Amino acid sequence: MFFVVVFVSLAIFVQDALSQSQKSFLWKVQSKTSTAYVLGSLHLATKDIYPLHQKIENAFEQSDSLVVEANVNDIKKIDIQKLMERAIYPDNDTLEKHISSETLESLKKETGELGIPFELLNKQKPWFLAMTLVSLESIKLGLDPNLGIDQYFLSKAEGKKKILELESMDYQISLLSGFSDKEQELFLIYTLKDLHIMEQEVNQLIQAWTSGDTKSMESLLTRSVSEDKRLSTIFEKLIFERNRRMVSKIEDFLQTKGTYFVIVGAGHLVGDQGVIELLKGKGYLIEQL
């Protein structure tokens, strides 16, 4: 489920999980001068997720600034031509020249089940195609990026709070497009496998997120890499390296006198190398709300 969750952290409202005593995927991180509320992000959702738990809304209201991985509303920062160069093969080059015949057959079978002619996808590079397939499956499940938590708080913060980024769209695109052909094919292979169990595991992810169950969330997120150690290099680049970069940025905020509401993918917050444990290791006072 790892690759699905990297791009589409899923959430649906579960009524009985929203009690005041219930832990959530929200942490309060304090330094001597500053506070950062760190929320696990759900990038796609349905309208049933709202209203959010009051403790999340309160943390946002108490904050001076909203911090996101990348401000998806700032479209002018995205260089569409550069994106296409990184996502689409040029001239006569095609996907089938860069993946094995076995992967190609699996892909054709999957796209056939989705009702999409393979020819329409044959110019996409594996990393971009993986995102395309996950997006299509998400739509089938009724999930909408416009209802995601990032989007919700970006809309609320517009004109009222300072909006800051931990990364940027360009950084994230560069990271994904910078994988080797071999890594991109592995990425695509496991995305194809995850598509078949996506709906089944979404319910488990929902339960883990709504109850603040970090152990269950970690288990779901690391399943793919535990099954195939070849994925460890991809996991290191997509998760662990980014975790360390995010912690460095959050530490910069904690050295100020402001209060920050930080939203990152839920997968970045769990595990020994997750953002929360890394911040604990640096001596900050941390409480899961």
Give how far Cα 35 sits from Cα of 92, 252, 284, Å: 53, 11, 10
pLDDT digits (tens, 9 = 90+) for 235-250: 899 999 999 999 999 9
What mean pLDDT is predicted for residues 185-204? 83
Give the total number of structural domains in the chain: 1
Contact by Cβ (8 Å): 242, 268: yes
User: Quick one: how far is CA 113 from the chain centroid?
Assistant: 26
Q: 248 lies in which domain range?
A: 2-288
More confident residue, 44 or 115: 115
What mean pLDDT is predicted for residues 62-81? 86
Of 4-8, 126-130, 162-166, 279-283, least confident by mean pLDDT is 4-8
Structure tokens at 202: 């979404």
Give the model's confidence band at 47: pLDDT under 50 very low, under 70 low, under 90 confident, else very high: confident
DSSP state of 144: B
Cross-strand pairs, 66 = 163, 261
pLDDT at 101 over 50: yes
Q: How many CB atoms lie within 10 A of CB 239?
A: 22
- Cβ neighbors of 58 (< 8 A, separation 6 or more) are none
Of 25-29, 61-65, 81-85, 207-211, least confident by mean pLDDT is 207-211
pLDDT digits (tens, 9 = 90+) for 31-41: 999 999 999 98
DSSP state of 272: T
pLDDT at 10 over 60: no
What mean pLDDT is predicted for residues 19-35? 85
Of 99-108, 168-177, 199-208, least confident by mean pLDDT is 199-208
What mean pLDDT is predicted for residues 122-136? 93
Contact by Cβ (8 Å): 67, 165: yes
User: So what's the pLDDT on residue 16?
Assistant: 35
Q: 3-state class of 67 per DSSP? A: strand
pLDDT at 5 over 60: no
pLDDT at 127 over 50: yes
Nearest to 4 by CA among 249, 237, 190, 238: 190
User: So what's the pLDDT on residue 8?
Assistant: 45
User: So what's the pLDDT on residue 215?
Assistant: 93
Of 92-96, 100-104, 132-136, 161-165, least confident by mean pLDDT is 132-136
User: So what's the pLDDT on residue 1?
Assistant: 56
Structure tokens at 157: 């913060």
Structure tokens at 250: 């959050």
Residue whose pair of structure tokens reads 């395309």 in the numeric block: 132
Residue whose pair of structure tokens reads 């070849």 in the numeric block: 230
Mean of pLDDT over the chain? 86
User: What secondary structure does DSSP assign to 111-125, as a single string?
Assistant: HHHHT--GGGTTTB-
